[in-house]
């Protein structure tokens, strides 16, 4: 047993990623810890900071991904373990939050396992406060908040964890306050401007937040980790390489895609893009412009085939979403919107409408999103003999899905009717997305166009293989 303990201590002394896991269990007894690649990635970057290879680091990542545990709690404890004389200053937008991180870090230094692993790092009994604790070698962790005083203090490492209050992020005054405090107060506390390190960790909140301000000034290494990979991503740090594949969730062991969809509905597309994708959109920003859209006056004839795409809802209340079905004719690598249905319908009415449209156009495929309201429709239509039903399970969030098809509009491959009775609703929603109350038309269209893109890409691949 003693040998196993010594072996574990040796691992905790040398491997920061393992150390983070131990810290989590210590400050969250009984909670489940989901070891994940992004924690090792963060550990590698912070170790590069400790080694002097990175002097200015920004980490952008979504909420509830252990960023504070890694950077504000575990890392100061790790630094003091490696060097009991290290001087660390840490700040957050809230003094309550700053003090909590300080207390959690102090709890680690007081624990039996930490004192065993780092026996030379001993808390001073004379200077052991909530916001500042010292070691017997005069190393310390000092906690402050944005706008708070740091007079007389100086650090070798400065940490700022969530400098903005999310509820105040749309206030220019409050954003400027955080940026000015960082530049005029916090940065001046660095003991050695050349050798000292600064780490900013935050979820993106606004296109003009502190992260954006620092990036525009240059000289900062940026580690951006979205909640879901919009494309294949590779992180190379030191000798290690981490691959994040398109559509993969940051923590697939814990979260499901439905969870992100629900979050997007709750916080809105703009907040979701910033906080979870780390891609803030400017206020009023729309992905598709009116000038990007091509029109036809008369629907062509001789289509190669039709495809129908349905975004379903089965409630008819005033606040309920619409069910939207779009029918597309494919001709010469262009997609023509041949018809659209947009109504609030009960389940029986929705099923009858899908059958009616299917009989009208005889589509090659009927795409239906495989979600709660769509699952029963899919099963019932298949039982009724519709063998062309294609259940669609989205692998990306709505904003990313729509953004990926904007180029098809811009290239003129998507053609909409000039004189349709539904033109006003159609164009209004497409050119206002994601800042819309209802996005059912946009969902139906992006579902079809992404399906068609994937079909075309797979066909190209088969041709190359042949």
Dihedral pair phi/psi, residue 20, rounded to 5° = -60, -45
DSSP, residue by residue, 193-249: TTT-EEEEEE----TTSHHHHHHHHS--EEEE--SB-SS-EEEEETTEEEEE-TT-B
Measured CA to CA, the distance from residue 236 to residue 241 in angstroms comes to: 4
Measured CA to CA, the distance from residue 200 to residue 41 in angstroms comes to: 16
Give the CATH number, domain containing residue 242: 3.40.50.300
Alpha-carbon dihedral of residues 389, 393, 397, 401, nearest 10 degrees? -40
Measured CA to CA, the distance from residue 205 to residue 175 in angstroms comes to: 10
In the prediction, which pLDDT does 316 show?
67
* Per-residue confidence band for 267, with pLDDT thresholds at 50, 70 and 90: confident
For residue 300 the two structure tokens come to: 């062509």
> Do 264 and 393 share a domain, yes or no?
no
Nearest CA to 229 out of 185, 163, 279, 293 is that of: 279
> Do 195 and 226 share a domain, yes or no?
yes
Nearest CA to 302 out of 275, 274, 332, 327 is that of: 332
In the prediction, which pLDDT does 318 show?
60
- Ramachandran assignment for 94, one of left (phi > 0), alpha (psi -120 to 50 degrees), beta (any other): beta
Nearest CA to 293 out of 405, 407, 442, 414 is that of: 414
Alpha-carbon dihedral of residues 143, 68, 219, 82, nearest 10 degrees? 70
In our burial notation (b when 16+ CB lie closer than 10 A, e otherwise), range 273-285 reads bbbbbbbbbeeee
Tell me the mean pLDDT in the region 66-86.
Answer: 97
Give the percent of the chain with pLDDT over 90. 72
In the prediction, which pLDDT does 438 show?
87
> Do 268 and 345 share a domain, yes or no?
no
In the prediction, which pLDDT does 3 show?
59
In the prediction, which pLDDT does 460 show?
45
Tell me the mean pLDDT in the region 427-456.
Answer: 91
> Do 295 and 263 share a domain, yes or no?
no
Q: How many domains does the chain have?
A: 2
> Do 316 and 189 share a domain, yes or no?
no
> Do 348 and 301 share a domain, yes or no?
yes
With 80 as the cut, is the pLDDT of residue 284 above it? no
* Per-residue confidence band for 197, with pLDDT thresholds at 50, 70 and 90: very high
Tell me the mean pLDDT in the region 326-346.
Answer: 96
* Per-residue confidence band for 199, with pLDDT thresholds at 50, 70 and 90: very high
In the prediction, which pLDDT does 106 show?
97
How many residues comprise the chain? 466
Question: Are 61 and 161 in contact, with CB atoms under 8 Å apart?
Answer: no
> Do 309 and 183 share a domain, yes or no?
no
User: Would 385 be classed as within a structural domain?
Assistant: yes
Nearest CA to 334 out of 451, 413, 411, 410 is that of: 413
Looking at 231, 255, 277, the residue that finishes a domain is 277
With 60 as the cut, is the pLDDT of residue 404 above it? yes
The distance in angstroms from the start CA to the end CA of the chain is 60
Radius of gyration of the chain, Cα coordinates, nearest whole angstrom: 27
Give pLDDT tens digits for 11-62.
Answer: 999 999 999 999 999 999 989 898 999 999 999 999 999 999 999 999 999 9
With 50 as the cut, is the pLDDT of residue 346 above it? yes
Tell me the mean pLDDT in the region 151-159.
Answer: 90
Domain limits for position 427:
290-464
* Per-residue confidence band for 73, with pLDDT thresholds at 50, 70 and 90: very high
- Ramachandran assignment for 165, one of left (phi > 0), alpha (psi -120 to 50 degrees), beta (any other): beta
Tell me the mean pLDDT in the region 187-192.
Answer: 93
Lowest mean pLDDT among 164-178, 217-231, 298-312, 411-425: 164-178
> Do 243 and 334 share a domain, yes or no?
no
């Amino acid at each position: 047993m003693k040998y196993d303990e010594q072996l574990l201590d040796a691992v905790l002394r040398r491997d920061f990623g393992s150390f983070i896991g131990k810290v989590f269990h210590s400050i969250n007894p009984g909670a489940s810890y989901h070891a994940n690649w992004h924690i090792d990635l963060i550990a590698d970057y912070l170790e590069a900071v400790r080694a002097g290879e990175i002097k200015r680091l920004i980490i952008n990542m979504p909420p509830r991904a252990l960023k504070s545990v890694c950077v504000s709690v575990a890392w100061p404890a790790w630094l003091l373990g490696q060097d009991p004389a290290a001087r660390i200053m840490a700040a957050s937008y809230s003094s309550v939050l700053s003090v909590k991180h300080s207390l959690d870090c102090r709890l680690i230094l007081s624990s039996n396992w930490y004192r065993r692993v780092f026996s030379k790092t001993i808390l001073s009994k004379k200077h052991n406060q909530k916001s500042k604790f010292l070691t017997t070698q005069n190393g310390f962790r000092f906690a402050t908040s944005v706008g708070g005083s740091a007079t007389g203090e100086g650090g070798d490492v400065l940490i700022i964890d969530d400098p903005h209050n999310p509820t105040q992020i749309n206030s220019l005054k409050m954003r400027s306050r955080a940026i000015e405090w960082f530049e005029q107060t916090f940065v001046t506390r660095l003991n050695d401007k050349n050798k000292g390190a600064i780490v900013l960790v935050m979820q993106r909140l606004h296109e003009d937040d502190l992260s954006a301000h620092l990036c525009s000034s240059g000289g900062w290494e940026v580690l951006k980790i979205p909640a879901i990979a919009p494309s294949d991503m590779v992180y190379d740090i030191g000798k290690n390489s981490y691959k994040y594949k398109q559509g993969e969730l940051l923590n697939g062991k814990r979260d499901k895609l439905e969870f992100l969809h629900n979050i997007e509905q709750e916080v809105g597309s703009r907040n979701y893009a910033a906080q979870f994708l780390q891609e803030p959109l400017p206020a009023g920003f729309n992905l598709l412009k009116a000038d990007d859209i091509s029109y036809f006056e008369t629907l062509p004839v001789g289509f190669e085939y039709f495809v129908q795409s349905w975004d379903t809802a089965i409630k008819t209340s005033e606040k309920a979403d619409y069910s939207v079905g779009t029918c597309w004719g494919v001709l010469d690598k262009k997609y023509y919107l041949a018809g659209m249905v947009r109504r609030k319908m009960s389940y029986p009415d929705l099923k009858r409408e899908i059958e009616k449209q299917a009989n009208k156009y005889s589509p090659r495929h009927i795409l239906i999103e495989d979600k709660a309201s769509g699952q029963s429709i899919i099963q019932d239509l298949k039982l009724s003999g519709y063998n062309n039903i294609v259940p669609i399970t989205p692998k990306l969030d709505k904003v990313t899905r729509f953004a990926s098809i904007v180029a098809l509009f811009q290239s003129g491959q998507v053609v909409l009717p000039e004189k349709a009775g539904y033109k006003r609703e159609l164009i209004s929603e497409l050119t206002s997305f994601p800042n819309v109350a209802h996005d059912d038309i946009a969902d139906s269209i992006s579902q079809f166009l992404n399906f068609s893109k994937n079909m075309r890409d797979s066909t190209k691949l088969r041709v190359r293989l042949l």
